[in-house]
A = this chain, B = another copy of it.
Amino acid sequence: MPSQGSGNFERGYIIPIGGCENSISPQVAEKLRSICLNASAKAVVLNICDQPLEHKLSNQLLENGFDECDIQSINNRQQANNPLILQHLAGVDLIVLVGQRPLQVSTIIGGTPIAKQIRKLNADGTHVVGTFGAAALLSEHMIAGGQEATIPKQDGVTMAPGLGLTNRFMVDYHFKQQGRLGRLLTALSYNPFTIGVGIDDGTALFISPNDDLEVFGNGAATLIDPSNLQYSSMGSAGSGDPISLFGLQMHILAQGARFKAGEKKAYDEHWA
């Protein structure tokens, strides 16, 4: 479950972003600045993979109103366990996690002081972005891999514990390009308590402290609400079998569309 933090502050935004690891769209960068309420905004980019990160992403943040943007690479667990790395998180308004694959990020930072600190800071108000493979990481239950297919199958997804900032939403990324609806549906059908969201490249979800989700960017989000699921054959399906799922609710959310997790309701400026 998400960290309880100090209990004195509102949770920060949780922001999964689909797509390229080293750039975001200007409208997303602008929105990131707008949720940082301090007059002077400070960001840190944590590059959790074995590739060096270009400065494009941090430059975009600086161009869109951030006053400082530090970049740190964390390539292995030794670095993630080094207490010095925590200094880079002091006083930041926004933490951006960049990773290529969800399991790569989770195996590097899982259980380390930096992971604990990110959870605590988010609970106390710091906003956390996960982009590319780190977009999936933000959820409590993480989609780590699986088949690229439209229909759910008994063993169609690989799940793993994520960073656990939210258990209201489970995110999959690269959604449009790779036909990943089937693995998201498989994951949801295992235990249909959470909301599934697939995000296209170039698309960001801004999940507010009260779990209202807003979509920004040039793609769309495919949101699956299984809370009224009437029937699933998952419990009796054999390995590799396609499964039946009756009564899923689906919302397609393009730029500006929102979803209130509390009321399970989609809306936007034209429809409330």
Contact = CB atoms under 8 A, between A and B. Distances in A.
Interface size class of chain A, counting residues whose CB lies under 8 Å from the partner chain = 35 or more
Interface in A224-243: 224, 230-231, 233, 236-237, 241-243
Contacts of A175: 150-151
Interface in A160-209: 175-176, 178-182, 185, 198, 200
Interface of A: 149-152, 175-176, 178-182, 185, 198, 200, 218-220, 222, 224, 230-231, 233, 236-237, 241-257, 266-268, 270-271
List the 9 closest A-B pairs by CB distance, nearest first.
A179-B179, A246-B266, A220-B242, A231-B271, A245-B252, A242-B254, A248-B250, A244-B257, A151-B220
Nearest to A266: B246
A150 B199 CA distance: 10
A255 B253 CA distance: 31
Given A219-B151, A222-B150, A243 B233 contact: no
Contact of A222 (B151, B246, B247, B267): B151
14 contacts: A150-B180, A151-B200, A151-B254, A185-B252, A200-B242, A230-B271, A231-B266, A233-B257, A237-B254, A241-B254, A243-B254, A246-B257, A247-B266, A249-B250
Nearest to A255: B242
A176 B198 contact: no
Contact of A242 (B185, B198, B219, B268): B219
B220 A244 contact: yes
Contact of A249 (B198, B218, B249): B249
B150 A270 contact: no
B248 A251 contact: yes
Given A151-B254, A176-B182, A231-B267, 14 more contacts: A150-B179, A150-B180, A151-B176, A151-B222, A152-B252, A233-B268, A233-B270, A242-B255, A243-B254, A244-B253, A244-B254, A246-B271, A248-B251, A250-B250
